[in-house]
Amino acid sequence: MNSGIKYIIRLKRYLLLINSLVLTSLLAVEAQNLNQTMDFASSQFLRGNIPEAISLYRRVLFFDSLNMHSYSVCRDLASCYISVNNHSRAREFSRLAGNLAPSDSLRAEQIFQVAYLYLTENDYNYALIELLGMKDSESVYFQMKRNFYLGIACLQKTDYQKSIDFFLKCVDSTDVARREELVNILERVRHIEKRYNPKTAKVLSMIVPGLGQLYCGEYKGAVNSLALTAGLAILFIITIENYSLLDASVSVLPWFQRYYQGGYQNAENAAITRKQNRINKQYHKILSVIQQ
């Protein structure tokens, strides 16, 4: 009886050992296959075969039961979606990568990527939420990067006082010259914001066609707008005199309305474009001062 029990116990141990060896072998094979798939996905991404790379990365993510590659896959999937301008999916996988990141620094980089994507889409409030929700870091690099992004978001929201406060944190407090230069740049941005007001340009062109373009410095556009609408207005009057009000309203008035409306819309767009271009130049100057 005792020998039978010992035999059963010994047999169970052998079976457990065999199962363990089989499981280890299967895991090793699975890990090897996942590594190969990861390498192939990366090669497809580098070649520009983004749909194929996405499919391969998602396959690894599905079969990676031990989360051996999950962080890297989510990070690389975010890069794939960024390359095809699918920012919503890129943010999704950047957040997943941040949650799976093995270190605080890698987690912070994913948060910065999410904030950057919001900034590029002009979603400044969401960018601020991401940045302000970050944990404080002892790293000078991360502190400066966070303050710089916060400065950009506040600047785009026209909260100039907060933006200059964040930008100044990126510069040594003893470097008076650079700090003064940053303040001067922000003052120029304020001036640009006031100087090129889209509503003002629109109203001016509604009062006198071409005046809004003149306000924006678009001299050729101002002349064209004034000449077209004035010419159509004269043609409208001539048509009334030679034919009738009905004929003028049917044949000329629609064209006058079209060019008149297009004129003040173009003036508004010209102000927006001119303002954004001028502010973008100031961005580069801010970055230059901070990187000195």
- Measured in degrees and rounded to the nearest 5, phi and psi for residue 252 equal -105, -40
Instruction: Please answer whether residues 64 and 95 qualify as being in contact, where contact means their C-beta atoms are separated by less than 8 angstroms.
Output: no
Q: What is the pLDDT of residue 5?
A: 59
Distance CA 240, CA 253 (A): 11
Q: What is the pLDDT at residue 6?
A: 56
DSSP class of residue 172 equals -
DSSP letter for 218, please: -
Residues 6 or more apart whose CB falls under 8 angstroms from that of 25 comprise none
pLDDT tens series, the chain, 292 aa = 456 555 555 555 555 544 543 334 433 344 457 888 888 888 889 899 999 999 989 988 888 877 888 999 999 999 999 999 999 999 999 999 999 999 999 999 999 999 999 999 989 999 999 999 998 888 889 999 999 999 999 988 888 889 989 999 998 888 899 999 999 998 998 899 889 999 999 999 999 999 999 999 999 999 999 999 999 999 999 999 999 999 989 999 999 999 999 999 999 999 999 998 998 899 889 888 888 7
Q: Supply the pLDDT for residue 138.
A: 83
- Res 53: pLDDT: 92
Buried b (16+ CB within 10 A) or exposed e, 11-44: eeeeeeeeeeeeeeeeeeeeeeebeebbeebeeb
Quote the pTM value: 0.72
Res 112: pLDDT: 95
Beta carbons within 8 Å of 174's beta carbon, 6+ residues apart: none
Tokens of 152: 């950009």
Nearest CA-CA partner of 261 in 212, 219, 197: 212
d(CA 85, CA 98): 20
**Residue for token digits 């999916």?**
89
Place of tokens 């001299």: 219
- In this structure, how many other beta carbons lie within 10 angstroms of the beta carbon of residue 223? 13
